[in-house]
Amino acid sequence: EVAPDALDRGLGIVRRNYEATASRGRITPADVEKRMALIQGTTDWTAIADADIVIEAVFEEMPIKKEVFAKLDAIAKPDAVLATNTSTLDVNEIASATRRPESVIGTHFFSPANVMRLLENVRGARSSKTTVATAMAVGRRIGKVPVLVGVCYGFVGNRMLHQRGLQAEKLILEGALPHQVDKVLTDFGFPMGPFAMGDLAGLDVGWRIRKGRGVKSPVADRICELGRFGQKTGAGYFRYDKGDRTPIPDPDVEKIITEVAAEQSIVRRHIGDEEIRERLLYPMVNEGAKILEEKIAIRASDIDVIWVYGYGWPVYRGGPMFWADAIGLRALRDRMLALKKQTGDAFWTPAPLLDRLADAGKGFLGG
Q: Kindly report the CA angle at 190 between 185 and 192, in degrees rounded to 5?
A: 80
How far is it, in rounded angstroms, from Cα 250 to Cα 270? 19
Q: Which residues are catalytic?
A: 108
Provide the Cα torsion 261, 262, 266, 272; round to 10°.
50
103-114 pLDDT, tens digit per residue, is: 999 999 988 888
Contact between 281 and 186 (Cβ < 8 Å): no
Helices (H), the chain: 4-23, 29-37, 62-75, 91-95, 129-141, 157-174, 178-188, 194-201, 203-213, 218-225, 251-263, 273-293, 300-310, 320-327, 329-343, 352-360
Would you state the pLDDT for residue 367?
61
225: closest CA among 252, 246, 197?
252
Q: What residues have CB less than 8 Å from 57, skipping those under 6 apart?
A: 85, 109
Q: Kindly report the CA angle at 299 between 345 and 120, in degrees rounded to 5?
A: 85
Q: What is the pLDDT along the chain (367 residues), one digit of tens a residue?
A: 999 999 999 999 999 999 999 999 999 999 999 999 999 999 999 999 999 999 999 988 899 999 999 999 999 999 999 999 998 899 999 999 999 999 999 999 988 888 899 999 999 999 999 999 999 999 999 999 999 999 998 899 999 999 999 999 999 999 999 999 999 999 999 999 999 999 998 999 889 888 888 989 999 999 999 999 999 999 999 999 998 999 999 999 999 999 999 999 999 999 999 999 999 999 999 999 999 999 999 999 999 999 999 999 999 999 999 999 999 999 999 999 999 999 999 999 999 999 999 999 999 998 6
Q: Which own/partner pairs from 279-282 qualify as long-range (CB within 8 Å, at least 24 positions apart)?
A: 279/167, 279/170, 279/171, 279/339, 280/164, 280/167, 280/168, 280/171, 280/181, 280/184, 280/185, 280/194, 281/164, 281/188, 281/320, 281/323, 282/332, 282/335, 282/336, 282/339
Which domains, from first to last, does the chain contain?
A: 1-40 (no CATH), 44-155 (3.40.50.720), 176-263 (1.10.1040.50), 273-297+320-360 (no CATH)
CB atoms within 10 A of CB 251: 8
Q: Strand, coil or helix: what is 344?
A: coil
CB atoms within 10 A of CB 149: 23
Q: What residues have CB less than 8 Å from 207, skipping those under 6 apart?
A: 220, 221, 224
Q: Considering the entire predicted model, what is its pTM?
A: 0.90
285-295 pLDDT, tens digit per residue, is: 999 999 999 99
Identify the H or E element spanning 147. Answer: strand 145-149
Q: Strand, coil or helix: what is 109?
A: strand
Q: Strand, coil or helix: what is 5?
A: helix
